[in-house]
Amino acid sequence: MEDGQHLIHSLYEAALDPGRWTDFLAHFTVAFSSQAALIWGYDFSDRSARALGGPTSLSAQHGFSEEALRSFEAHYCRVNVWTANERYHVEGQILSGSECYPDNHLTRTEWYADWLQPQDLFYTLAVIVEKRAQRSFNCTAVRSKWQGPYNEREEARMRSLVPHLQTAFALYRRLHRAEALAQTSLAALENLPMGVVLLDGRAEVLHANARAHALTRATGLLRFEADDTLHAVAPRDDQRLQRAMRDVVATGAGLPLHAGSVLRLHGLAGAQLQLLVAPLPLKAEPFSAHTAGVVFITDPALEIPSLMDILQSLYGMTAAESRLAQALAHGLSLAEYAERQGLSVQTVRTQYKSAAAKAGVGRQSDFVRTLLTGPALLRWARPSE
């Protein structure tokens, strides 16, 4: 659908330019026949909310007054009956207000009488985009009672948006919150502890940083061709890589919708590479070039000793937990790590559960994504003062 493609395109534009989150929410509001929409964070530990942010904050709104959001942050987030039960708020799921609290009881609450009703709001539908420990990051639509509850078609449409929201949030954190690319210069790419390949709308290479070239030479699993294209050496791997790159640059250009792919390449001599292929909007120019996609390249076997100290500092992990976290971020499985370290799988699983709890996640895929899209890897690249 053309409208859906435009919505996805505006989402990926916002991931690169924080000023465009409100543009995305304007499209989001129309797409779901709503009066207002909000990207916001909620902390279940103290029932606090972050709905108003600065120019680079992952908070945005459309359709609310600043006064309403200030009162929401100051008081009404704590009487919000839709967030009263944390167990309903699961990462990657969509959630309606009716599931959280009975509609026929809503009108008896302070939340409705003093905050929703003055704005002529009654129904809500939200995506729990991320959940870190007891804090959730959400994309929420709200509308009036006369418009009726959100229907199954709208729920299905919002469900299809979930992977794109998660990818966009991850890209935003990688490219903005960590500040490694805050000045949107190619020079910043050279400080990243991973290979970065920027793609244009034809999936051709616009730029590859030095680490991307180094990993390509060292492993022999990828190659850069003279016609400015990136290829996997193994034919089957290359088919997957070319398809993934075509899909994401098409999404970046506003065509088919694809949230990105993770690929793992293996060589005969034991060499490995892990690739994250993600879309970027074609119109955005954060690297002084028309970028439509990006390939992040990491070596699962790469040792980065200082990363352990950073993980311990950021997440409060023990040395053993941070060592395991680093290995998982580089692509190893729990079993592979256990074998390398001479530990039992049960011991490693226990270490993982503790590390994941400190990072605020449960699933291993979420744990790895938290490490790769958070500040740890980028802080490793920051020169010491």
Instruction: Encode pLDDT of 343-363 as tens digits.
Output: 999 999 999 999 888 887 777
pLDDT at 187: 64
CB atoms within 10 A of CB 372: 22
CATH fold match for the domains 1-181 and 192-298: yes
pLDDT in tens, 226-275: 878 999 999 999 999 999 999 888 865 555 556 667 788 998 778 889 88
Element (H, E) at 327: helix 319-329
CB atoms within 10 A of CB 182: 12
Q: Which residue has the tokens 């991320």?
A: 130
What fold does the segment set 306-373 form as a domain? Arc Repressor Mutant, subunit A (1.10.10)
pLDDT at 270: 81
* CATH 3.30.450.40 assigned to 1-181: yes
Model-wide pTM > 0.75: no
Q: Where are the domains of the chain?
A: 1-181, 192-298, 306-373
pLDDT in tens, 313-346: 777 889 899 888 877 776 677 888 899 899 999 9
> What is the distance between the alpha carbons of residues 30 and 35, in angstroms, rounded to a whole number?
8
Element (H, E) at 294: strand 293-298
pLDDT tops 80 at residue 369 = no
pLDDT at 372: 60
* CATH 3.30.450.20 assigned to 192-298: yes
pLDDT in tens, 98-154: 999 999 999 999 999 999 999 999 999 999 999 887 889 999 999 999 999 999 999
